Amino acid sequence: MRHGPPIAMVVASILGVVAWALFILVYTLLWSSKYSLFQNIVVSLITLVIAALLIGLMWVAWGMRRGWRRAYSW
């Protein structure tokens, strides 16, 4: 059984990056003036790590499902 490319996963990854960028933009425009430069950098880095972990977990789950299907297909 042949599987096509993971278009939905690619779209979800792109949307995740766009959502993170929009959050940083809104954060910078509305809430960042209350905090120091260091605190703003920490917020940006932590949200980047969280977004990367969520996207990575999504891809790992997809890869594991696809890998298990291949292992049991023969």
pLDDT tens digits, 33-46 = 999 999 999 999 99
Which tokens belong to 67? 């890998």
Whether 33 maps to a domain, the answer reads yes
Domain annotation covers residue 2: no
Closest CA to 39 of 50, 22, 26, 27: 27
Give this prediction's pTM. Answer: 0.81
Domain that holds residue 26: 7-72
Residue 53 maps to a domain = yes
Cα three-residue angle 5-69-9, rounded to 5 degrees: 30
Are residues 16 and 51 in contact, defined by beta-carbon separation less than 8 angstroms? yes
Q: Which of 30, 29, 11 is nearest to 19 (CA)?
A: 11
Domain presence at residue 59: yes
16 vs 13: CA distance, rounded Å: 5
Residue 1 in this model has a pLDDT that exceeds 80: no
Question: Could you report the per-residue pLDDT of 5-59, keeping only the tens digit for each?
Answer: 789 999 999 999 999 999 999 999 999 999 999 999 999 999 999 999 999 999 9
